Homo-oligomer: A and B are copies of this chain.
Amino acid sequence: MTIIAGEAYLMSMNPLVTTGVNSIWTAYQSQMEAVEDRLRLILKDVLPLASEMTSYIVSGGGKRLRPLLMIISSRLCHSEGDASILLAAVVEMIHTATLLHDDVVDSAELRRGKPAAHQRWGNQPAILVGDFLYANSLWLAMGLHNDEINDSLTLACKKMSEGEILELFLDRNLKASEEDYFNVAACKTATLTASTCRLGGILGGISEKGKTHLEQFGYFVGMAFQVADDALDYMASVDRLGKTLGRDLAEGKMTLPLIHCLAHVPSSSRLRLQSMIGSGESRNADLEEVLDLMRETGSIEYSLSRAREFTRLAQENLSAFPDSPARQHLFALSDFVISRDM
């Protein structure tokens, strides 16, 4: 049995990244392999016509952060049954569905270093297979007949879709505030990681207080991840993260580094920066200019400091649990999500 994604993928991307999470992957290898098997099984059983596309997407080298959060949260709460494997597959499919639609909406060319699915198969299947992954995931989760799980997962899905729309309204919006940005990040990323961790607590039957701490942990991990990811967009190169540098600038996405830079740039440069954001035709020369301004305003360092703050808040929530290997792994994972490319 081979792991399609996960460790091997991370190794191939950047050896430095994986050193820290190696031990985590090893500790959960059998469960994570079971998740991969489950994903393959789900996608093989249904919809043979679309199987090529779905396996390209779902096995396309995701970091499996959400399944890993699910599996470790479950172990933290002494629940390691089949339900945690199923839900790990479910949250990964929900995440993949949003990526599919995201990439169509953003006209993205690459996803994880490979052509985005809609580039290869067209927008139509990408939209519809996204719908299918989403519907199939919820149907599988509802089959557990657990109201707490249903409420948490469907609320997360609702919030995620709200976040996607809010984000669209922020594009090239020069009035976007840090608060707007954090609200979008909370909706589109942190609600699913929060729900994922809460599901582990639900399966383990722990106290409401414990579930809230786990949910908060997942929430802040999601925030840390998103803020770091948006900072990396101004730092990463294509061979390291499978995405192109400055894609957010080209798309007019008002992420934290840009919002911070716009607020702190000397007034002599503000109009120039505004026109580059608003133009809709960002060139490499623009990117260089923006990066120079960000160095002046310290916007990338500021963003990374906010990400570290979210990690700290995540880790604080773990203190509610007794020490265990699972708690240590969650702790390490919350560091990893902001350091994966540094």
Contacts and interface: CB of A to CB of B under 8 A. Distances in A.
Contacts of A157: 135, 138-139
Interface string A129-164: 101101110110011010100110011011011101
Interface string A91-132: 000000010010011000000000000000001110111011
Interface in A175-218: none
A271 interface: no
Contacts of A131: 98, 101, 134, 161, 164
Interface residues of A, number: 39
B165 A136 contact: no
A101 B101 CA distance: 11
Contacts of A125: 165, 168
A158 B136 contact: yes
5 contacts: A128-B161, A128-B164, A134-B161, A139-B154, A139-B157
A119 to B, nearest CB: 15
Given A105-B127, A169-B49, A150 B142 contact: yes
Contacts of A135: 154, 157-158, 160-161
The prevalent SS among residues of A at the interface is helix
A138 B46 CA distance: 22
A265 interface: no
A151 B144 CA distance: 10
A205 to B, nearest CB: 18
A134 to B, nearest CB: 7
Contacts of A132: 158, 161-162, 164-165
A34 interface: no
Contacts of A49: 165-166, 169
**How many of these chains are in the complex?**
2
Q: Which interface residue of A129, A158, A160, A164 has the most chain B CB atoms within 10 A?
A: A158
Nearest to A160: B135
A50 interface: yes
B46 A162 contact: yes
A169 B124 CA distance: 11
A47 interface: yes
Contact of A165 (B50, B142, B147, B166): B50
A197 to B, nearest CB: 19
Nearest to A144: B147
B161 A136 contact: yes
Nearest to A146: B147
Nearest to A149: B142
Contacts of A169: 49-50
A166 to B, nearest CB: 7
A158 B134 CA distance: 8
A193 B154 CA distance: 22
Contacts of A136: 158, 161
Contact of A143 (B47, B98, B151): B151
A292 B244 CA distance: 54
A144 B161 CA distance: 21
